[in-house]
Each structure stands twice: as structure tokens, then as C-alpha cells.
Structure 1
């Protein structure tokens, strides 16, 4: 029994460290091992081992994503898909569409949710038509994001800057590996490491790109994620302020359509996520609230926004 207890304690400790490590990498994907160790209050060796395990076994990626507006993607939507029969084939077909950046199988009456980003409404309607044409799709409920209030993969603000081919080449490398060394970046674009560093810093400071961790391996035992659709009955500002200020909220968007606001709440336990949901329900401005638990993330690839600028 003591051995089992010790192993359970070690698992809990590893889960807590992993969750904190992912959070730190979402805040700064290029933070050094030394900086991550200092932030987490653990040894550099432990951070290195846990990061290696997350990347190798859990499918964690640290990548650069281009700001949607900078990439000309001004139409962002969230969709819930009603399905007749098994949901996985539908989710996988939606994930194949080039404009979808997030696809997940969830609990509830609409077992598939997705996000997509488009250059204009013609692209949006083409994607929606393609989804409606997938066998098994029964219903589609769509909300358009009027504004992204909070998103870990998008910078808070963007400065208007002009990119050249060297910038494009740097972003293309960072899209694959956001933690690529400055020596690797320099060799790719034929600059000195100091010049590559300055270029990357300029892109980050301008908000053109954000480098952050994405759990492409889906959900793990230390990550609970619940989506929330909110219908308002009062002013939006108090609800927006709560969503932006709450650390457990990964995504928050002002929207119109099926919902007035949409958020994703994450945590290492269901109790922590439930606490945020209950606090939302207690806000006088919240008229109704619908939730869906993410059960299997099929696609999470925000780097696709880079394609229209860098790649053919």
C-alpha cells in the first residue's frame, strides 16, 4: 500500500508540474529551461525531463501562429454540429477542411464543435456548405466572433509592420518548431544568430506572431476543458471582464448568432472548472449558459493561418 500511495503522489505531482509547464509555455513559448524552472520553482533537470515527456508522449507542440487579422482572416466562427450516427467520422471530415483550426468531439446534443477562420464571407459559406454536405450532419449552429477578447495563441495587440521574405522564412520555421534555436533560425535564413534574434523579437513585439504551446495530442489526465456558450440578458462588459480576468479561461470571444459570448475553461480538475462555471452563472448579466465537455480534440492547428502569406 505505501508504494501505491507514493506512486499516486508522484503522479499528482507530475500532473501539477505538467499543467504549470504548459501554462508557462502558453505565456511564452520561447522561455528558456532556466526561466521555466524559475517560474515553476523546480530544477532545470526536472523541467527538461517533463518537457521532453510532454513533447514526445503527450503530443505537445510549441509553435508560432500568425495573428488572424494580420493574415487577412477577418471572419472567425464557432460551430456546433448535430450528428446522426457516430460523430467521429464527421469530426475527421471537418478537420480535413483547410479553414478549420480547431475540431473537437464533445458531450451534449451537438457532439462536434469547430472553429474556422476565413478571409471573407464567401470562404465562410463555402466551408459551411462543405460541412453540411458531410454524411451524418443533421444540424449546424454557428456563432460569429465579433472580437477575440482573450486567446492564448493570439497577441493582445498588433502593430502594423511590413514583412519581407526573410521574415516569412523565419515564421515558416517557427511554425514547425517555435523553440528552434537562434542558430538553427540563422542558418535557415543566412543571418547571424543575433540578427535572427532581433528579427524574431520584432515579430513578437509587434504581435504579428505568438509562440505558444498547443496540446495537439488531445486531452490528457491533467487537462480538463469545457466550452461555454453564454446568452446575455444585460450589459456585456461585466461578463467580458470576468472572462478576461479569470486565469482558467483560455479563450473568450464576443459573438453573435447562437451565443452572445463563447469561452473555453481549462483546469487540472473538474472541481476547478466547475467553480468558474458556477461563478459565471452567478453573474446577473448571464441569462443562460450552455456547456460542452471536450472529450477528444481531433484538430488544433492555429498555424494554418500562416499559409496564405508564407506557403503556396
Structure 2
């Protein structure tokens, strides 16, 4: 039987609940308070209060992200940047580039990591040239994603569908507030709530958008995040399968370049993250493994890609 958390529960008890709530919203960002309460085994009042706290205090966002391939972004990369001197000014410059969707200050061999998404290799080349010209940048190591094995912010598969202006308008609203009510959406686009619901459901079912929670800053007292770069020495399938099946893995991608696989492991404590890393090290297909701990996420914005469809 699920343990029910009451109003007087101490903060240490809410850490795990908050983490579970964020994960539930990553699975379904539009889940109702009733559905979330049933999933977590707690009262609706508690879910409502914890969600308000996470959004108000911790800056949690629930947003719609457009599938990168549907938006014409077919070149996805991960970069590690070594910096001479303070890394934050460099990270902020990289975060200001239009094609970067993720930038984080890290502990490890590199000073910061970034992820960027591009329409073609010319766009990628321009972004890398801009990064290398930033004062303080000593070295950039690039890994190109062959395919996303697992990512909470995009759908697992996409169906080819045609979008019209009303679809664009709905996506734009949901990119700001993925939990906007159907009534609010209907009023904004001048449709009936039932027609609006059907359009949003079509977008979600087709995989064009995914609505999920993103932690502002990505890190808190109840969230530890560690990046992992893996060089394989055998068949990739067992490693891929482990990453997809492991709940603590937020992102996993098959790749080529600096690494054959890249993943992000999250948890409520370092012990849980370390346990996953140790299990990875024990897999026969893992030749070498490099890690970097995320200390301060400067940018995490997967919603910007709608402009490539709405505007030339």
C-alpha cells in the first residue's frame, strides 16, 4: 500500500515526493492533480501544494517541446569545453548562441558541457566556430548523436502529420505553459474546448510535441545529475538496453566522436547515481567510462524550435 504523506511531514520526506512528482510530470506533463495523486499514493491537496511550491520556489516548468526532427533539426551534438580561467562567462556566451539548447557548468575533466541542435552541418560548423572564438576556450570535444535512445523531453516516435496555423498557435502557447487548461487554450485560438482537446491530443499522439517537466536550473537539494560518456568494446545492444530500462537515466544517445554512448543519470542522492555508474562499469560492453557532475545548469531550453516552422 502506498505511504500517504500528510501536512506535517518534515522536509526530508517531501524530497522523495518532489522527485517522484517531477518524474510523473516528465512522463505526462498534462496529468491532472487527481491522476498525479493516484499515481503517487498521496492526497490531491498535497500534490497541489507541492506542485505550487516547485513551480513558485524552484522554478519548475512544464512545457511542450517540438520534436527536433520534425522541426528540421537533424544534427544533434554534445560538446565538452575546456576553459582557461573562469568558466561561467564562457558558459553564458555559449548559452546565448541560438542553436544551443543545454549548457551546464560541470566538475570533471571539462569545465562545461553543452548540447546543440542544427539543421545541417554548415549550421553546426558556424556554432563550433563561434564557440572556439570565445576568449578562454582552450578545447572543444564534440560527440554527434546517431540517435536518441531515451529522452524525457521528446517522443519516442513521430508520425508524419500536416500542421496548420491553429496547430502552430497551440504549440506556441503550450511551449510557455504545458499545463494550460483546454478552456484557456480554446479561448486563445477561438476554438471549442472539445476541438482544442482533439488537436492537442493529435499533436501528442503523433509525437510532434511532448509535454514534460523541466527543473529550472536542473538541480536542487533533491536532484543530483551526472553525465556519462562511454566508449564501447563490444556489441552496443546490451549497454543501450540497460540505459533504456534504467529509471534513473534521463537521457541516452547512441553517438560517434568522443564517445559511442552519452547518458545522463539523475537521482535524489549521490549513492543512487553511483550505483548506476558502477553497474555500467560492470557491463562487458563498456570499454571505458568518463563522468562529469552537473553543478549549475545555465540553459535548458528545448522549446525554441517552433520558429523554424512558423517563420522562414
Structure-2 residue corresponding to 1:240? 240
C-alpha displacement of 1:217: 3.1
Instruction: State the secondary structure of the residue aligned to 1:244.
Output: helix
Alpha-carbon offset, residue 311 of structure 1: 5.0
Shift of 1:108: 1.1
Q: What residue in structure 2 maps to residue 70 of structure 1? A: 70
Tell me the TM-score normalised to structure 1 length: 0.96
Q: Does structure 1 residue 290 correspond to structure 2 residue 290?
A: yes
Deviation beyond 3 Å, 4+ runs, structure 1: none
CA drift of 1:267 comes to 0.4
Whether the 8 Å CA contact 1:169–1:310 is kept in 2: the answer is: no
Corresponding residue of 1:151:
151
TM-score norm. by structure 2 comes to 0.96
CA distance in 2, matches of 1:247, 1:142: 27
**Partner residue of 2:79?**
79
Equivalence for 1:4 = none
* CA distance in 2 between partners of 1:9 and 1:182 (Å): 34
| Separation in 1, partners of 2:98, 2:307 | 10
Q: How does 1:39-188 map to 2 (within 5 A)?
A: 39-188=39-188
SS at match of 2:85: coil
The one-character-per-residue Cα deviations of 1:132-181 (angstroms, maximum 9, x if unpaired) are 01111000000000000000001010000000000000000000000000
Q: Secondary structure at the match of 1:91?
A: helix
The alignment partner of 1:97 has SS state of coil
Distance, in Å, in 2 between the alignment partners of 1:247 and 1:53 is: 25
Distance in 1 between the 2:113 and 2:279 partners? 24
Q: Indicate conservation of the 8 Å contact 2:27/2:212, yes or no.
A: yes
Residues 92-123 of structure 1: CA deviation (Å, up to 9, x unaligned): 10000010000000001211000000000000
Q: Distance in 2 between matches of 1:42 and 1:157?
A: 32
Structure 1 equivalent of residue 33 of structure 2: 33
Q: 2:68, 2:74 within 8 Å by CA — same for their partners in 1?
A: yes
Following the alignment from structure 1 to structure 2, what is the Cα–Cα distance between the partners of residues 125 and 294? 26
**Structure 1 counterpart of 2:5:** none
- Cα distance in 2 for partners of 1:305, 1:29 equals 19
**Is residue 192 from structure 1 mapped to residue 212 from structure 2 by the alignment?**
no
Aligned-partner Cα distance in 2 for 1:141–1:147: 19
State the Cα distance separating 1:74 from its structure 2 match.
0.1
Residues of 2 paired with 1:66 and 1:104: CA distance?
22
Distance in 1 between the 2:269 and 2:309 partners?
39
- Taking only aligned residues, the RMSD between alpha carbons, in angstroms, comes to 1.1
Q: What's the offset of the Cα at 1:305?
A: 1.8
Structure 1 unaligned blocks of 5 or more: 1-7
Distance in 1, matches of 2:95 and 2:12, equals 33
**What SS does structure 1 have at the residue aligned with 2:153?**
coil
Deviation at 1:307, TM superposition (A): 2.1
Aligned residues of 1:172 and 1:310 also touching (Cα < 8 A): no
In structure 1, how many angstroms separate the alpha carbons of the residues matched to 2:141 and 2:9? 43
Instruction: Give the Cα separation in 1 of the matches to 2:149 and 2:53.
Output: 32
Cα displacement (A) at 1:51 = 0.4
Distance 1:277 1:194 in 2: 46
- Say if 2:75 and 2:144, in contact at 8 Å, map to a contact too: yes
CA contact (8 A) 2:182 2:197 kept: yes
